[in-house]
Homo-oligomer: A and B are copies of this chain.
Amino acid sequence: MISIKESKFIKSLQLKKFRKLENRFIVEGAKNVLELMSSDFVVDTLYVTEAFRSSHFEIWDGREDLVVRLVTEKELSKVGVFTNNNAALAVARIKEDASMDFSKSLLAFDRVKDPGNLGTIIRIADWYGFDTIVCSLDSVDCYNPKVVSATMGSFVRVRVVYAEIAEVVRRATCTYGATLQGEDIHAIDFKDPALILFGNESTGIAPELIEQLDQQVKIPAYGQAESLNVAVSTAVFCDNFRRVLKKS
């Protein structure tokens, strides 16, 4: 059973204001909870269904700090953002802000607003071996449950740093930006370490940031679509970046 008080607490963590206040966030679904449990995040409470418990009890074996609560599927789905959750939900502690290491290549985002996009971007960064991404201060919060859910577990490996992007661009050695009028990405001889900047879903990179970049880069179009989704562009950039570095 989840008490009314607990239920209110868990639901409150859907809002950034309460996540900041409580320093806690929620993780939902089997894949994400399993990744969380094998990471260095501190977990307070784990709500599990009988089905999940019977197949995964080893994940809390010997963890005396952890409260494990048996609940029904219906209860889980009621307190989380998932329409259906037949597995687990965890309440975990938000980590301290990570620092940026400019000796490694970084992905940066100017005003990414859609939680699904940021989650997918974190998954892509994890696939392509970027352990830190930088988001402008007005981007969506990476502890938003919809972001966490879209990462498919990659939130445990990729740190998101919120910072003033203009300042980050100034500090980076070599900066590229994804625009619709840059150089063809297939002809770019990417440097490493680099900072690759992506813009807002509707308006792209802010003009004052574009001015500061070393190079604008475009994904060439072969048809008539006006643009690509920001997560899709991120993947195409990461793939071209890794391909070029492999050869050099």
A residues lining the B interface (CB < 8 Å): 116, 120, 123-131, 152-154, 157, 186, 219-229, 231-232, 235-236, 239-240, 242-243, 246
Contact = CB atoms under 8 A, between A and B. Distances in A.
Contacts of A157: 223-225
Contact of A227 (B116, B152, B239): B152
Contacts of A123: 225, 228-229
A139 B70 CA distance: 36
18 contacts: A120-B229, A120-B232, A123-B229, A127-B219, A127-B221, A127-B222, A127-B223, A127-B227, A128-B222, A129-B221, A129-B222, A129-B223, A131-B223, A152-B225, A186-B246, A222-B242, A229-B231, A232-B235
A152 B128 CA distance: 27
Contacts of A116: 116
B186 A225 contact: no
Contacts of A120: 229, 232
A231 B131 CA distance: 22
A231 B116 CA distance: 13
